[in-house]
């Protein structure tokens, strides 16, 4: 669906391949260095003609979100309209496929998809850099999600430098969440320092400094990481963002799919998404 009659955007699942927390700033925010990547799959946002701005949500995780004015999709739509003087309305339909509060940028990705979709639907013509700047006020991950490509993020994660690590694009990935939602703010508050060190040149030598604090709040994360490490062909097994979603990379789709089947058999209540790095 595209054009003036309607527009569709994928809100790609965000993955932090490595995440180093460098310091807690005086304002309470944290200075980080991270390598963002994105799966080929995610939520789906559809935009069509409408009076005013209206949002409906359906899909497996629709119940975890409200359709009120505080929803990030509507906040993004209002921010774009205000920045560009748009006067048209739009009807937005969000198919919520990704779990909420899961470390894979669900709300930020949805906001970014709204910016991209409405930019086309309203024929505004902004570039992704301009959309990312509008998204900065909505959340630290929104600029990265607007780009939805591999990038190094510094500052709060909102200063971006696109990069192309060799062999990463198209690599099979398995995302798994142990049915646990985690507050990003609470996980960061639980970070006590330590770790230290900048993001290495080879991201595989990095880490996620939030794994320890997240596991203290949601112990099943440790079981999930162990389960992923036991899978044949699994590499770079880590937690994404503030959790509780974890991932493993594979050389082939068949290795990834075999791991997905094994984990589903052993833990049928865990959510999972087999995909590839876009």
pLDDT tens figures, 183-241: 999 999 999 887 668 999 999 999 999 999 999 999 999 999 999 999 999 999 999 99
Nearest CA to 239 out of 195, 278, 197, 206 is that of: 206
Q: How far apart are CA 55 and CA 78, in angstroms?
A: 12
Q: How far apart are CA 105 and CA 136, in angstroms?
A: 14
77-116 residue pLDDT tens: 999 999 999 989 999 999 999 999 999 999 999 999 999 9
Report pLDDT for 2: 46
pLDDT band of residue 67 (cuts 50, 70, 90) is: confident
Report pLDDT for 68: 82
SS3 34: strand
Report pLDDT for 1: 45
Contact between residue 215 and residue 233 where contact means Cβ atoms under 8 Å apart: no
Structure-block tokens of residue 244: 């509780």
CATH code, 7-162: 3.30.230.10
Q: How far apart are CA 45 and CA 122, in angstroms?
A: 15
Hey, which residues are catalytic here? 14, 141
* C-alpha radius of gyration, the chain, whole number: 18
- The DSSP call for residue 51 is S
Report pLDDT for 79: 97
Residues of the chain within CATH 3.30.230.10 domain(s) are: 7-162
Q: How far apart are CA 94 and CA 80, in angstroms?
A: 18
Between β-strands 246-249 and 235-239, what pairing exists: parallel, antiparallel or unpaired? antiparallel
Residues of the chain within CATH 3.30.70.890 domain(s) are: 172-276
Report pLDDT for 193: 84
- The DSSP call for residue 249 is E
pTM: 0.95
Please check whether the domain covering 172-276 is classified as CATH 3.30.70.890: yes
pLDDT band of residue 25 (cuts 50, 70, 90) is: confident
Label residue 119 left, alpha or beta by phi (over 0 means left) and psi (-120 to 50 means alpha). Answer: alpha
Report pLDDT for 197: 83
The mean pLDDT of 50-64, rounded to a whole number, is 95
């Amino acid at each position: 669906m595209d054009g003036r009659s309607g527009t569709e955007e994928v809100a790609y699942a965000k993955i932090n391949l490595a995440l180093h927390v460098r310091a807690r700033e005086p304002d309470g925010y944290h200075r980080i260095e991270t390598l963002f990547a994105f799966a080929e799959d995610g939520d789906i946002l559809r935009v069509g003609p409408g009076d005013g701005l209206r949002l409906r949500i359906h899909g497996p995780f629709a119940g975890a979100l409200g359709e009120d004015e505080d929803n990030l999709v509507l906040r993004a739509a209002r921010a774009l309209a205000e920045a560009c003087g748009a006067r048209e309305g739009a009807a937005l339909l969000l198919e919520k496929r990704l779990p909420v509060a899961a470390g894979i940028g669900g709300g930020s990705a949805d906001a970014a998809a709204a910016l991209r979709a409405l930019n086309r639907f309203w024929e505004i013509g902004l570039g992704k850099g301009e959309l990312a700047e509008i998204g900065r006020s909505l959340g630290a991950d929104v600029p990265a999600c607007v780009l939805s490509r591999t990038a190094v993020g510094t500052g709060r994660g909102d200063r971006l430098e696109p990069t192309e690590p060799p062999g990463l694009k198209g690599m099979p990935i398995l995302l798994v969440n142990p049915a646990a939602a985690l507050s990003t703010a609470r996980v960061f508050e639980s970070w006590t320092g330590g770790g230290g060190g900048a993001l290495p040149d080879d991201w595989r030598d990095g880490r996620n400094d939030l794994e320890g604090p997240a596991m203290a709040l949601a112990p099943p994360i440790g079981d999930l990481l162990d389960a992923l490490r036991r899978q044949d062909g699994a590499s770079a097994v880590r937690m994404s963002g503030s959790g509780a979603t974890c991932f493993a990379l594979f050389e082939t789709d068949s290795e990834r799919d075999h791991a997905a089947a094994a984990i589903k058999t052993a833990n049928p209540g865990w959510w999972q998404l087999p995909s590839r790095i876009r």
